[in-house]
Structure 1
Amino acid sequence: YDQTVNLTFEENPESIDFDYLDVQILKYLYQYSGITQKELATKLDLSESQISRRIKTMEQNGIIRGYQTGFRPFNNLITIVCLIKVNKEVNHLIYCLSQIPYPKTIAYENRNQIAIGLELPAKELKGFLNGLYLLRPFMKSYFLQFYHRSPKVTYQDSFDLFDKETNSWEQIAKEFQCSMNKMETI
């Protein structure tokens, strides 16, 4: 195969600084997809130009990567999460997975491990599994998890975890790590 996809993944991406107001903008955009910049400005006590500038900066930094509708044209969907350890060129495998004609997310952990999450109609499951079987020469191993009812994932609560004082989620991560360390001693 000579079909590949141009990978632009960064293995060690730079962290991007943003503040509490940026997080609030993201929260409102997530909760109310039709909210206008004028409404955002009113809610956050900022000018429209400040809102516009912040949104543009987040778009340029890849925090906001686009906008999508919530339209779902299919019924009886199955959600699949597949973790793959690659034994050959990851680029070709990602190209093949990117050709799946259903909404998907491909996550690149490193050159040897990727994950794909997608929803597809239940009647297409056999075709997906057959396609995955054909890709076995490119895989060291894989793990599949199926959800017959798609879990309701909400990122809304994540926005509330941002620490306004430190402008980060780090304190929460540290507290979680401390809790996990305590559990190890039990």
Structure 2
Amino acid sequence: MKKYIAKRAATMFGVLLITLLITIMLVGSNMDTILKQGVVFQVRSEITENPAIVESFSSVQEFEAFIENQTEQRIKNLGLDEPWYSPQRIGLTMYKIILLDFGHATFLTSDLGSSDVKDIIFEKLPRTILLFTTATILISIVGIFVGALSASKIGSTIDRITSSFAIISSSFPVWWIGMLMIFLFAFTYQIFPARATPDIPASSP
């Protein structure tokens, strides 16, 4: 039994590593570009938000050269000067993901002001679980009822309608349907909030 569990655990871990490797290979180039652009944005924001530093430059060229130098230094410190496909970066990325070290977000922060991606995820996780659980319960209840009704009337109008709806709805990506629902019920009819569970003004969904 122990050997079986150990074998299954090793297999699952191997599959996880292979999945991570494939994911990194697929999005590595784009992610590298995004990370470097994020560094440029951070450096420029940090400098422009400090009037003392901005006023110390005598020309725009000197200012841009300073930003470029700081950006290159930051990129080097983060290890982004190495190609994304280098063994060092791929190995480090996989290691960080396994440890749930997702780095820091460039634009988003948690409600407490943390830019750590892990903090942002864990902060939103309870709401995600609540939303997923509620949706699953509602879908299960409605699905069982409608399915039983359709099964009891094979070939009827209700059977054809539900079967057609099931085929059509399963053909659309869930995230796309979700975006449409948010646009419809939050921005068009302003029934539900679009950004959070607490009540917010209807004029700012």
TM range (shorter): under 0.3
Higher relative strand content: 1
Higher relative contact order (CA 8 A, sep 6+): 1
TM-score by length of 2: 0.24
Higher relative helix content: 2
Rg bigger for which structure? 2
